[in-house]
Chain A
Amino acid sequence: MHSKIKKGWIVVWLLVGLISLALVPVVRWHTQAPLIHSTEGFHNLRAAELLNEPSSLGFIIGRTNPNLYHYALSLLLRVFDNINAVVWFHVVLGLVLVGSAWYTLMKLNLSPKLVSISLGLLIVSPSFVYLFTQPIPAGFGLAMAALGLALLLSPNIEKLWCRLIAALVLILSIGSGLLFLVSALIIVLGVLNLRKFKGFVATVMASATIIFYLLGYHRAIHLALSHPAAIINAIVFDFGGRSGFGFGTLVLGVIGVLFTWKSHKALTTVYLILIAAVLGLFMLNDLSALSLFSVLYVFAGYMVIKLLQHKWVLPALKLTTLILVCFSFGFSWMNSITIGIAASPTPSEGQAIEWLGNVKGEGSVLSAPTYAPIIQALAHRECFPDPWLNSNTAFNRTLSLLYSRNLKHTKQTLKQYNISYILITKKMLSGGVWNSADEGLLFLLRNNETFKRVYEVNGNQVWQVLS
Chain B
Amino acid sequence: MPKLSHRVLVLFAFLFVFGIRVYFAAQHGTFSSDESYYVLRQAEHIKATLTPIYNDPLSYGGKFVSFLPTYHYIIAGLSFFGSNVLKLFSALVGASIVVVAYLIAADITKHKYLAVLGGLFAGLVPAFLKTSLNSLTPKVLTLVLFFVCVYYVIKIEKARGGFSLLLLFSVLLSLVSPIALLLVLVLWVYSGLLKLQKLKLRSKSFEYMLFLTFLTITFNQLALSKLGLEWGILGLISGVPSSLLKQELLGLSWVGIISSINAILLLLGVYGAYIAVQKWSEKREVSLLLSVCIVFVVAVMLRFVDLTQAVSYLGVTFAIMSVYTFGELVAYIKKLKLRLPGGLLTMLILTLIALPVLGFGLYEANSQAEKAIPNYEIRGLLWLANNSEEDVCVLAPLELGHLVTYFAKRRVIADTNFINSKDIEERLRDIALAYTTPYETNAIEIFDKYGVGYIFLSPRVKNRFGIDKPSYVADAKCFEMVYNQTVQIYKVKCTLK
Contact = CB atoms under 8 A, between A and B. Distances in A.
B222 interface: yes
B192 to A, nearest CB: 9
Contacts of A335: 225, 229
B210 A321 contact: yes
B228 interface: yes
Interface residues on B, range: 35 or more
Contacts of A31: none
Interface in B228-275: 228-237
Contacts of A230: 232-234
Given A238-B225, A313-B207, A314-B163, A324 B215 contact: yes
A198 interface: no
Contacts of B221: 238, 247, 328, 331-332
A132 to B, nearest CB: 20
A411 interface: no
A318 B217 contact: no
B77 interface: no
Given A238-B225, A317-B211, A435 B234 contact: no
Given A313-B203, A313-B207, A324 B231 contact: no
A307 B214 CA distance: 12
A449 to B, nearest CB: 16
Interface string A202-242: 00000000000000000000000001111011001111110
A312 interface: yes
A237 B232 CA distance: 9
Contact of A240 (B167, B214, B233, B303): B233
Given A240-B228, A436-B61, A232 B233 contact: yes
**Chain B interface main SS type:** helix
A327 interface: yes
B392 to A, nearest CB: 13
Contact of A236 (B210, B233, B237): B233
A167 interface: no
Q: Which of B61, B208, B217, B303 has the most CB of A within 10 A?
A: B217
A331 B225 contact: yes
**Chain A interface main SS type:** helix
B162 to A, nearest CB: 13
A325 B214 contact: yes
Interface string B421-453: 010000000000000000000000000100100
A352 B207 CA distance: 55
Contacts of A240: 228-235
Interface of A: 227-230, 232-233, 236-241, 247-248, 251, 255, 307, 310, 312-314, 317-318, 320-321, 324-325, 327-328, 331-332, 335, 339, 405, 431, 435-436
Given A328-B221, A331-B221, 13 more contacts: A229-B233, A229-B303, A230-B234, A238-B228, A239-B228, A240-B229, A240-B230, A247-B221, A314-B163, A320-B211, A324-B218, A328-B214, A339-B229
Q: Which 10 A-B pairs have the closest CB atoms?
A: A240-B232, A324-B214, A233-B232, A239-B233, A232-B233, A321-B211, A229-B233, A324-B218, A239-B228, A331-B221
Interface of B: 61-64, 163, 167, 203-204, 207-208, 210-211, 213-215, 217-218, 221-222, 225, 228-237, 302-303, 422, 448, 451
16 contacts: A228-B302, A229-B234, A236-B233, A238-B228, A238-B229, A239-B236, A251-B213, A251-B217, A313-B204, A317-B207, A317-B208, A318-B207, A321-B211, A324-B211, A328-B214, A435-B422
